[in-house]
Amino acid sequence: MLYGRAVEQAAIDELTGAARGGTGRALVLRGEAGAGKSALLDYAAAAPMRVLRATGAEPEADLAFAALHQLLLPVTDLLDALPEPQRDAVRGALGLAAPPAEDARFLVSAGVLSLLAEAAADGGLLCLVDDFQWFDRASADAILFAVRRLHTHGVAVLIAVRDSAGLVVRDIPELRVGGLDEKSSGELLAGCSTAVPSAAVNERLAALTGGNPLALREVAGALTPDQLAGRVPLPDPLPVGAGVELFGRQVAELPESTRLVLLVAAAEGSGELGLVLGAAARLGDDSTAALEAAETVGLIIVEGSSVRFRHPLVRSAVYAAATFAQRQAVHAALAEALAEAGELDRRAWHRATATAGRDAQVADQLAEAGERARARGGFADAAAALARSAELTPEPPVRARRLTDAATAAWLGGLPGRAESCLAEARELTDDPRLLAELAQLHGRFELTSGDAAAAQRVFTEGAQRAREADPARALQMLGDAAEAAANVGDVAATVQIGRFAETYEDTDPFLRDILVGVAALHTGDAERGVPLLRGALARTDGLDRADRLLWASVAAGELGEIDSAAEYIIRAGQVARVSGMTGQLPMVLEIVARAERISGRLALGAAISEEGLALARDAGYTNSTAGHLANLAVVAAARGREADCERYAREALAIAIPHRIGLQASVASYALGILDLGLGRFAAAHGRFESLAGAGPGAGHPVTTLRSTPDRVEAAIGCGEPAAARTALAAYERWMANARTAESQALLARCRALVTEDGEEALPLYEEALRLHAGDGGSPFEEARTSLLYGERLRRAHRGGDARLPLRTALETFQRLGAEPWAVRAHDELRAAGESATRHEVDALSTLTPQELRIARLVADGVSNKEVAARLFLSPRTVEYHLYKVYPKLGVASRTELSRLVNAAR
């Protein structure tokens, strides 16, 4: 029976009720040991719905997916309903099949979401997670990924976590389970004893125990009825404390044989009765009788084929009371029993725990366990196994190799601190130039992903120079990494220097070499050399099927000023990354893809991709990518006139980008604030922001963002009466565009020239040329509409209102379709001033869709099945069905064919 938990019970009832009604929710129950969290989970388990349950075990905290296997085993018969990539990833994670070859982190997590959704289909599902602080990291990450995306499914999740663990569970509501009040404490004491405690005794016990239910139960069992009733003085000191000491005294009173079998159970941790009995038998103990003795005194509970301690603190007390030699013997016995059962990973960990010094054989077994964990996507747990294996490894070169692998796994598992410490230790153990090069590359990658981009650039460059002779292929890769870091910082001088280094790599990866050298040449003004190199690299892009190569092609196109071609390469890279072994790097790829979609004028899609990428970046711990997605969302919010959202996104992006010296993300966030002012007609404010952006140095600004924003800068300068500043900006833009061939790039250049042309009659043909180029290229509809708007404004000022109406009307309709509200208002006002009683058109149906709905609608319109959509977007098929159910009426369509026709017409 529960005492004094009305608030907690009401919260649980609300949670399970919502799940039965189809709405997924989660709740964290946080409290100290003995507070009654497990009892609340037991209360929840009585809800009329399907229940899955898993309890963390400290010995299994480093076994990848051990807790997930416990939770999902009862519903693995539903795996065939999942999209194939998710199904295979989950089967591999649970050890039911060979793991997929690629990095399957997000696929496993999405598969868990899909499986829970399937299990909830008939009346809802309740997942009870106890002792979450002891869940292995791979299981915890997968469960939390799913929990944050359950709102459209009838799944309730209760997570109990010990307060002292210090574990932060992000983005999930928490309910603190504290001590009972004095009245409830008295009721509990009366309920678990034969005497009613006196008011004075109750008051003292409640104060001494802090109302902790476990402590109250234990002290009630230790006191006589006369003591509870106050007729006999209480002992001094009182036998209280919801900790190891109280149970330690009970354990110490047991026979040695009982203590031994309890130690086996404590060391085993998962509660497998057969394994406990087998290991105890190896130690020469009559384990069955000993277990019965422990069960008789209430320390353990034996049910069927499992044995569990009445409370985790009993287990802690048993383990703490044993000597080091006793623990070693028990872990060795468990390892032998597990070897017979074929459970190699658990055997390896128990052998490692039983080993005091270095042991090559044990180290090898644990390293193999780490590799198996990594293959299944359990990177954090692989890191723990590999790091411990390194500790046990006698030979320094092998130890260095394992620490390097541990660092990689830790980074992929979202543990940057452990990754850095493993790297540092590995560097101290080796003088192998090839391994040192690999360590330098890893260090740089860590910095570029979550740290200081300028530091990353230095690490890559210096590492490449050291590795030039020993490993030229890796050295050139590192120069490419250095160029990527320099590009993120916005350091042109470093980019030039990197290109000069790359020039000496004549026989290594000519595609990458030519791009690095060509970019450097353009930055030094040597177009005669740089342009052919970049054009030659782009000529070799036919049939490219690697996301990283497509991204390098986008760099080449972008440096040539062909922003639209660069965007197309990036979009292709994103498509490849979703179905390749790069899914673990997807947040960074999506950051670039979202920016490309936004630059291409597909504002809603750019925002949708950034929202997806932002969630994945936060899940993976990729801090710098988080800033990139926030900055892109700020620009889209600016274009749509959502001032508060724009400022919030930009502020959050800058808070990361400035201290990490990521000039690209910082400049995009600053650009967002400028385009917000421009759209709202605050020309002087916009001009000031764009001028500041142009003057910002590496780490705060970026030359590419400055050049790309030149059309906006020119418009703002003209709008606030600064024509000289506009002409200066245009001159720099013309130099950058000198080698651009695409129609979109030339259209923007013509628009800028029209803006700075004071004579209206001379400006009009330039606008007309820009519109002709826009129309023939299939470029950005947003930029084309802005050109139409500016053309219409110039016609109206030339007193040609009748001619102005068509371009203004076209601009208005496009802005409305894109949801670019401030620009639509501006076009509407200009149209009225031109003499047309303009009425606002209905908003395009696609703009009414949420970002998630839009992504799904576009894929379905391309003929992708629901399961394939779920696989690509890391959703469950039921989530896809749920959103399509809402999309059809919003768009006024009744079939996939009609949906395809409508979406494709809007592209």
Contact in structure between 103 and 412 (CB atoms under 8 Å): yes
Give the Cα separation of 381 and 360 in Å (integer).
20
pLDDT at 241 exceeding the cut of 70: no
Contact in structure between 453 and 485 (CB atoms under 8 Å): yes
Alpha-helical segments (H) within 720-865: 723-736, 743-756, 760-777, 781-797, 801-818, 821-833, 851-861
Instruction: Choose which CATH entry (2.60.40, 1.10.3470, 1.25.40, 1.20.58) describes domain 433-445+454-540.
Output: 1.25.40
Highest mean pLDDT among 213-222, 252-261, 625-634: 625-634
**Confidence at residue 103, expressed as pLDDT on a 0 to 100 scale:** 66
- pLDDT classification of 894: cutoffs 50, 70, 90: confident
Give the Cα separation of 883 and 312 in Å (integer).
43
> How much of the chain, in percent, has pLDDT values that exceed 70?
96
Domain ranges (residues) in the chain: 6-176, 182-233, 243-322, 433-445+454-540, 742-840, 847-906
> Do 433-445+454-540 and 742-840 have matching folds?
yes
pLDDT at 190 exceeding the cut of 90: no
| Averaged pLDDT score across all residues of the chain | 89
Q: What is the mean pLDDT of residues 33-46?
A: 93
pLDDT at 688 exceeding the cut of 80: yes
- Cis peptide upstream of residue 237 (ω within 30 degrees of 0): yes
Residue 542 DSSP symbol: T
**Confidence at residue 583, expressed as pLDDT on a 0 to 100 scale:** 53
Of the two residues 26 and 304, the one the predictor is more confident about is 26
**Confidence at residue 646, expressed as pLDDT on a 0 to 100 scale:** 97
**Confidence at residue 242, expressed as pLDDT on a 0 to 100 scale:** 47
Highest mean pLDDT among 217-221, 315-319, 515-519: 515-519
Give the Cα separation of 622 and 643 in Å (integer).
27
pLDDT at 244 exceeding the cut of 60: no
Let me know if domain 6-176 sits in CATH 3.30.470.20.
Answer: no
Q: What is the mean pLDDT of residues 411-428?
A: 88
Within 10 A of 46 (CB to CB), how many other CB atoms are there?
11
C-alpha of 566 from chain center: 26
Contact in structure between 881 and 856 (CB atoms under 8 Å): no
CATH number of 847-906: 1.10.10.10
pTM of the model: 0.82
pLDDT at 200 exceeding the cut of 60: yes
Give the Cα separation of 669 and 524 in Å (integer).
28
Q: What is the mean pLDDT of residues 670-675?
A: 96
Order of strands, sheet of 174-176, starting from the edge strand that comes earlier in the sequence: 50-55, 125-130, 155-162, 25-31, 174-176
Q: What is the mean pLDDT of residues 726-743?
A: 88
CATH number of 742-840: 1.25.40.10
pLDDT at 829 exceeding the cut of 50: yes
Contact in structure between 581 and 102 (CB atoms under 8 Å): yes
Give the Cα separation of 421 and 411 in Å (integer).
11
Give the residues across from 176 on adjacent strands. 30
**Confidence at residue 218, expressed as pLDDT on a 0 to 100 scale:** 80
**Confidence at residue 22, expressed as pLDDT on a 0 to 100 scale:** 92
Give the Cα separation of 13 and 10 in Å (integer).
5
CATH number of 243-322: 1.10.10
Q: pLDDT for 95-154, tens place per residue?
A: 888 877 666 778 888 899 999 999 999 889 999 999 999 999 999 999 999 999 888 899
Give the Cα separation of 140 and 150 in Å (integer).
15
- pLDDT classification of 579: cutoffs 50, 70, 90: low
Highest mean pLDDT among 555-564, 599-608, 629-638, 852-861: 629-638
Tally the C-alpha atoms within 13 A of residue 597's C-alpha that lie toward its C-beta. 27
Number of H helices, E strands in the chain: 47, 7
Instruction: Give the CA radius of gyration of the chain.
Output: 32
Residue type, 787: T
Would you say how long the chain is, in residues?
Answer: 907
- pLDDT classification of 634: cutoffs 50, 70, 90: very high
Q: pLDDT for 104-116, tens place per residue?
A: 778 888 899 999 9
**Confidence at residue 839, expressed as pLDDT on a 0 to 100 scale:** 58
Residue in 321, 253, 322, 244 with CA at minimum distance from that of residue 34 = 244
Of the two residues 892 and 7, the one the predictor is more confident about is 7
Q: From residue 544, how far is each of 263, 483, 569 by CA, in Å?
A: 59, 21, 10
- pLDDT classification of 196: cutoffs 50, 70, 90: confident
| H-run or E-run covering 585 | none
Tokens of 396: 């320094």
Q: pLDDT for 771-791, tens place per residue?
A: 999 987 667 899 999 999 999
pLDDT at 381 exceeding the cut of 50: yes
Tokens of 20: 């039965």
**Confidence at residue 369, expressed as pLDDT on a 0 to 100 scale:** 94
